[in-house]
Amino acid sequence: MKKIICILSVLLYAFSNTSVFAQDPAFSQFFASPMTLNPALTGKFNGVVRVAGNYRNQWPAINNAFITSTVSIDGGILKNRLPDGDTWGLGLMAMTDKTANGILASNYIALSTSYHKSLDENGWNQIGLGFQGTYANKRLDGTKLNFEDELDQQGGWTIPSAEIIDESENTRSASQLSDLSLHGCFVQLANPFPEGTAVTIEIYKDADFVETPATVAYQMAKQGMGLTFVETEPQFAAILKKWVAQAKRPVGHA
């Protein structure tokens, strides 16, 4: 008994001087997932074998942001060879975590063990220590990543991004632009607005911003629509003039 207490004391002292940083998937019903909460809980229950499973789907409306599942099994071992009131647990856990609709997939297999030393003859008070070793595998599916195109085909200047506001429908649509001029532009939209629709367009590029009324001059199904600017305010017209001049500048010209 004294030898076990001595070993536990040495291990506690050794790990108390070690900085360990980690972040694991968390469950709202954390008490139902003991082996992800603390490896010292391995085998710490009244019974022979414990099997647990958990499923979490966090923020499903945001394209399945986080989906986490675990399954674990643990129990006490060598019960007939341990002093009365002591518990030695051993457990195995598997976890899978998928982020952003499976773009980033993380898989874990963990082996846990713990020992609880009784401090009184009834075993009502114990001191415990647990260890967990985990094999982790992460996979990033680059084919599902979507990078916005902010450079033109010549690589000369950054294509502005924009939001189109339809006041009548009270909707906002984010888009990329092309063929920008002082009098209008082409907006890339999968569902363009009908011809003649009056909108307000907000255009962003670097630290500049332009807001102006516009009218849909024409539309191309599943591609986008051409806008004609209407009564652009002078301060915004000056920014447009600067952008157009930058677009006409030869590539590599400082």
Res. 20: pLDDT tops 70: no
Structure tokens at 155: 């690589």
CA–CA–CA angle 208, 213, 215 (5° rounding): 125
Whether 216 and 106 share a structural domain: no
In a domain, 14, yes or no: yes
Domain carrying residue 33: 2-144
In a domain, 253, yes or no: no
| pLDDT tens digits for range 104-158 | 889 999 999 999 888 887 777 888 889 999 999 988 887 776 555 555 455 555 5
In a domain, 156, yes or no: no
Predicted confidence at residue 146, as pLDDT, reads 59
Q: What is the pLDDT averaged over residues 179-193?
A: 88
Domain count, the chain: 2
What number of residues does the chain have?
Answer: 254
Please tell me the distance from the alpha carbon of residue 50 to that of residue 91, in angstroms, as a whole number: 9
Whether 131 and 49 share a structural domain: yes
Predicted confidence at residue 252, as pLDDT, reads 47
Among 30-39, 167-176, 215-224, the range with the most confident prediction by mean pLDDT is: 215-224
Domain-ending residue, one of 110, 144, 178: 144
Whether 77 and 119 share a structural domain: yes
Predicted confidence at residue 22, as pLDDT, reads 44
Domain-ending residue, one of 144, 173, 204: 144
Regarding pTM above 0.75, the answer is no
Instruction: Look at 208 and 113; give whichever has higher pLDDT.
Output: 113
Whether 244 and 124 share a structural domain: no
In a domain, 153, yes or no: no
Res. 34: pLDDT tops 90: no
Whether 14 and 137 share a structural domain: yes
The rounded mean pLDDT for the chain is 80
Whether 47 and 165 share a structural domain: no
Instruction: Look at 100 and 200; give whichever has higher pLDDT.
Output: 200
| pLDDT tens digits for range 66-93 | 888 899 999 988 888 888 888 899 999 9
Whether 137 and 95 share a structural domain: yes
Give percent of the chain above pLDDT 70.
77
Structure tokens at 98: 């998928």
- Name the least confident of 5-9, 24-28, 87-91, 166-170: 5-9
Q: What is the pLDDT averaged over residues 34-61?
A: 85
In a domain, 89, yes or no: yes
CA–CA–CA angle 218, 163, 180 (5° rounding): 55
CATH number (domain holding residue 208): 2.40.10.220
Whether 8 and 109 share a structural domain: yes
Whether 139 and 215 share a structural domain: no
Whether 17 and 129 share a structural domain: yes
In a domain, 214, yes or no: yes
Whether 134 and 238 share a structural domain: no
Predicted confidence at residue 26, as pLDDT, reads 65
